[in-house]
Amino acid sequence: MRWLPVFKKEMRLYFGSPVAYVVFTFFLLISGWFFSQIFLFYSDASMRSFMQPQFGQNLNVVDNVMRPLFTNMSVVLLFFIPMLTMRLFAEEKKAGTMELLLTYPVRDGEVLAGKYLAALALYLILLGLTLLYPGLVAYFTRVEWGPILSGYLGLILTGAVFLAVGVLISSLTENQIVAGFGTFGVLLVFWVIGWGAEFAGGTLRTVLQYLSIGDHLEGFTRGLVDTKDLVYYLTGVGLALFLTLRSLESKRWRG
Amino acid sequence: MIQVDNLTKRYGPVTAIQDVSFNVDKGRIVGFLGPNGAGKSTTMKILSCFMPASGGTARVAGYDVFSQSLEVRRRIGYLPENAPLYPDLSVASYLDFVAEIKGVGRAARRGRVADVMERCFVGDMQNRLIGKLSKGYRQRVGLAQALLGDPEVLILDEPTIGLDPRQIAEIRALIRSLAGQHTVILSTHILPEVSMVCDGVIIINRGRIVAQGTESELVQQAFPSARIELRVAGADGDVAGAVAAIPGAVGVQPRPARDGSVGLLVEAARDRDVRPDLVRLVTGKGWALQELHQVGMSLEEVFIRAVAGEPEPQEPVPAAEETR
């Protein structure tokens, strides 16, 4: 397996340049801001439930803190993930290093695997750092870990799809800005496409709902791991990576 | 080791190389010579499996560059034009990456990387980021990565560009030392480099090979007769006539007179050195010999003839066909 050297090189480049640190800093800053606001609102609400007991009946820390936090983080990822993936192929093409990389004795699939897994590893580290938030909640109160874990699984899968789309678009251009903005645009389209379902009927409604990335995350944040959603994410990753491989291989015969 | 047959590459309507054919035997160093845009880099990109040809075949170490690309890539070291490298990696970590990707085992890697750094004179910069290096150092790091993995065939696109004269000499000596175990094809437009480093020369112009062979073969082909420039002072009588009478002299052309001296360009058969005869003639007549030297035997003259002697480019026929 020759994907490992590519993986290690990409990790060195992420951490040897400011990319990883800038993305980490701002993602944690923004998600931390969301967390503190949601948590303050929740503690305020639970305080009030002492006065009005019927108000507190549905008060559940996972539903009222972690669920909105997961949704908010997934929206922030929409902006941040293109920044992680845009350089992966575009930079190498622009700098000409692609010429060397493709003439080393590695298969295109190994190059792709190394790069994708590096981006995925970086993303997992980023998500790992946000475990601080449920940790803090658990420090103050009793939590159910099941829905939190399924929520993280949902975020991992969402991120995996975002990253795969980003890698695909980066392989299509040698301009990093085009790669970053293109990825953001495609992801945003898949994010808002579900909104159209409200006014559509019949099959179209089902299709639009199924394509929407956000709708599939919904179940995970409630603690529901549905095979329908798993299939959605995994086919999304598979399709994007398959197309990336085709785009890399075309270099060898297209000229 | 390298067999190229009728290789053709078109970029849309532009033909970069046309029917290029040559062979390079194992252990030889061949210089690829041509003006800018002649098709040197295109040929090298095809040989290194980076891009496919539009027609023809190329085999490296017996493997086809298109259908057995991975086998070819296991056996080549490639230095592309301008040595593209990762600016955010240090020299040592970059070379470690290359060694690993070329399949050098973990145990041997450190030693191999240290070895190529020493051979390419970049050891003193090993912890520096590549982006902070001068052009000469970057070029040598590029050469170091090509040497890693001890490939049978080295494809070097302008290996000495951007180096200072001392570095050029060191790198040429390094390439020269590769002869025997490695087969090297290098491109350049520095003519003396070919004479110093290469066993054979391939001259390419406007996408076609215009001459190939060893340097002395090419010189002999281009100049079937030796040319000697002679200048005498104090001459009375018909110098040209006297010279033409020397056995072996094929032709005599006058050169412009200078300060009353007579200049001649003598063409003579290659198998017979007429210079002693010329000296005897001049001294025998009591003339003063000012100059006597052989001219126009260098590769440079061959190159200029080969490149300038090409007919004007015909209207590209394939272009017309393709637009149809």
Residues of A in contact with B89 (CB under 8 A): 9, 12-13, 16
pLDDT at B297: 67
Q: Which of B53, B80, B97 sits opposite A99 (nearest CB)?
A: B80
Kindly list the distances between the CA atom of residue B278 and the CA atoms of A170, A209, B227, B242, in Å, as whole numbers in the listed order: 73, 99, 13, 10
* Interchain CB distance below 8 Å, A105 and B101: yes
pLDDT band at A220 (very low <50, low <70, confident <90, very high): very high
| Structural domains in chain A (count) | 1
Residues of B in contact with A4 (CB under 8 A): 100
Which pair of tokens denotes residue B233? 């002072």
Do residues B235 and B105 share a domain? Answer: no
- Does A8 reach chain B within 8 Å, measured CB to CB? yes
Measured between CA atoms, the residue of chain B closest to residue A13 is B88
Starting at the edge strand found earlier in the chain, the sheet holding B225-233 runs: B249-258, B261-269, B225-233, B288-295
Do residues B212 and B78 share a domain? Answer: yes
B285 vs B282: CA distance, rounded Å: 5
- Does A250 reach chain B within 8 Å, measured CB to CB? no
Do residues B184 and B198 share a domain? Answer: yes
Whole-model pTM?
A: 0.85
Measured between CA atoms, the residue of chain B closest to residue A110 is B101
B128 to chain A nearest CA, in Å? Answer: 12
Query: Is residue B275 assigned to a domain?
Result: yes
pLDDT at B309: 63
Query: Is residue B320 assigned to a domain?
Result: no
Which pair of tokens denotes residue B29? 């160093």
A82 to chain B nearest CA, in Å? Answer: 20
Task: Give Cβ neighbours of residue B133 (< 8 Å, ≥ 6 apart).
Answer: B91, B125, B141
Beta-bridge partner residues of B8: B55
Distance of CA A120 to the CA centre of its chain: 9
Pairing of strands B183-188, B153-157: parallel
Query: Is residue B43 assigned to a domain?
Result: yes
B104 CB neighbour count, 10 Å cutoff: 19
Domain that residue B209 falls in: 2-220
pLDDT band at A255 (very low <50, low <70, confident <90, very high): low
- Does A97 reach chain B within 8 Å, measured CB to CB? yes
* Interchain CB distance below 8 Å, B9 and A255: yes
End residue of a domain, out of B166, B193, B220 = B220
pLDDT at A112: 96
| Structural domains in chain B (count) | 2
Could you give the dihedral angle defined by the CA atoms of residues B239, B240, B243 and B248, in that order, rounded to the nearest 10 degrees? 180
Q: Which of A13, A102, A254 sits opposite B88 (nearest CB)?
A: A13
Domain that residue A228 falls in: 3-254
Do residues B194 and B261 share a domain? Answer: no
Q: Which of B88, B97, B102 sits opposite A105 (nearest CB)?
A: B102
B2 vs B21: CA distance, rounded Å: 10
Residues of B in contact with A109 (CB under 8 A): none
Query: Is residue B180 assigned to a domain?
Result: yes
Q: Which pairs with CB-CB distance under 8 Å and at least 24 residues apart come from B277-284?
A: B277/B246, B277/B247, B277/B248, B278/B228, B278/B230, B278/B243, B278/B246, B281/B242, B281/B243, B281/B246, B282/B230, B282/B232
Residues of B in contact with A103 (CB under 8 A): 48-50, 73, 76, 78
Do residues B153 and B184 share a domain? Answer: yes
Counting every residue written for chain A, the total comes to 255
Residues of A in contact with B82 (CB under 8 A): 96
What is the full per-residue pLDDT of chain B (324 aa) written as tens digits? 899 999 999 988 888 999 999 999 999 999 998 888 888 999 999 999 999 999 999 999 999 999 999 999 999 999 998 899 999 999 999 999 999 999 998 899 999 999 999 999 998 999 999 999 998 899 999 999 999 999 999 999 999 888 888 888 888 999 998 888 899 999 987 888 888 888 889 989 888 988 888 887 887 777 777 788 888 887 777 777 887 778 777 788 888 777 778 888 888 877 778 888 888 888 888 888 888 887 766 777 778 777 776 554 444 444 433 333
Alpha carbons within 13 angstroms on the beta-carbon side of residue A201 total: 0
Query: Is residue B309 assigned to a domain?
Result: no
Counting every residue written for chain B, the total comes to 324
Cβ pairs A/B, distance under 8 A: 75
End residue of a domain, out of B160, B190, B220 = B220
Do residues B203 and B264 share a domain? Answer: no
Alpha carbons within 13 angstroms on the beta-carbon side of residue B109 total: 17
The CATH number covering residue B263 comes to 3.30.70.1340
Do residues B181 and B76 share a domain? Answer: yes
Which pair of tokens denotes residue B252? 């005599």
* Interchain CB distance below 8 Å, A12 and B89: yes
Do residues B21 and B7 share a domain? Answer: yes
Do residues B176 and B283 share a domain? Answer: no
Beta-bridge partner residues of B252: B266
pLDDT at A28: 95
